Amino acid sequence: MNDADDMETYDEQFDAMGARIRIMIDRPSGNGVPEPAEAGRRARDFILDFDRRLSRFRPDSELTAFNQDPRTEVPASSLLRTAIRAGLSAAEHTDGLVDPTLVDQIEAAGYRQSRAGMTGVPIPELLLDVPERRPAEPDPGSGWLAFEVDDENGVVRRPPGLRFDTGGTGKGLAADLVADSLAGIPVS
């Protein structure tokens, strides 16, 4: 690749959200679309900010503050409300098989801290120690049904103590928002 080609593409990898993130942007295709390097920096900054604000593993994150708030009606930023809506949408579309309100159960199973930087175990080795497989079933408590996002008032309603995890749906949402921004749609 020559210097002219380098100026027309962007390719960066970094760690965020407990994963290795890669942003690859080709040449801009329209007027008013930022150059790949500028768009890439914006995307990287957005992902790092998303991670900082919505990680349940960061004691100073908005998500942690939300989960610790004793009120039924909790003020929430547009980004947190969007992330909660994404998790609730996944729960609705899977009839509760994806349930972002199972934080207590996830932590009881041992997932109390970020796995960022940990060495993975090969899947065949992991499968040696798992119980017999059976079809998944939704949690009978369906805590996700108790959440209500109110954008007009900038709040989320839920029973106090019922916590939320952006987890996988958060990663998907961040990717969607970055993709939208690269298509010329501003991110939240």
Q: What is the arithmetic mean of pLDDT over 14-24?
A: 90
| C-alpha pair distances (Å), 56 with each of 20, 51, 53, 105, 137 | 18, 9, 9, 14, 24
Residue 111: count other Cβ atoms within 10 Å of its Cβ. 15
Helices 167-182 and 78-93 pack at an angle, to 10 degrees, of 120
Most confident range, picked from 28-32, 108-112, 126-130, 183-187: 126-130
Residue boundaries of the structural domains of the chain:
3-132+139-182
Given 3.30.2130.10, 2.40.50.140, 2.120.10.30, 3.10.520.10, which CATH number is that of 3-132+139-182? 3.10.520.10
pTM given for the model: 0.82
pLDDT for position 31:
62
Q: CB neighbours of 152 closer than 8 A, spacing ≥ 6?
A: none
In the chain the first and final C-alpha atoms are separated, in Å, by: 34
pLDDT digits (tens, 9 = 90+) for 129-179: 888 888 888 888 889 999 999 999 999 999 999 999 998 899 999 999 998
pLDDT for position 5:
45
Asked if 113 and 106 count as a contact pair (C-beta separation under 8 A), the reply is no
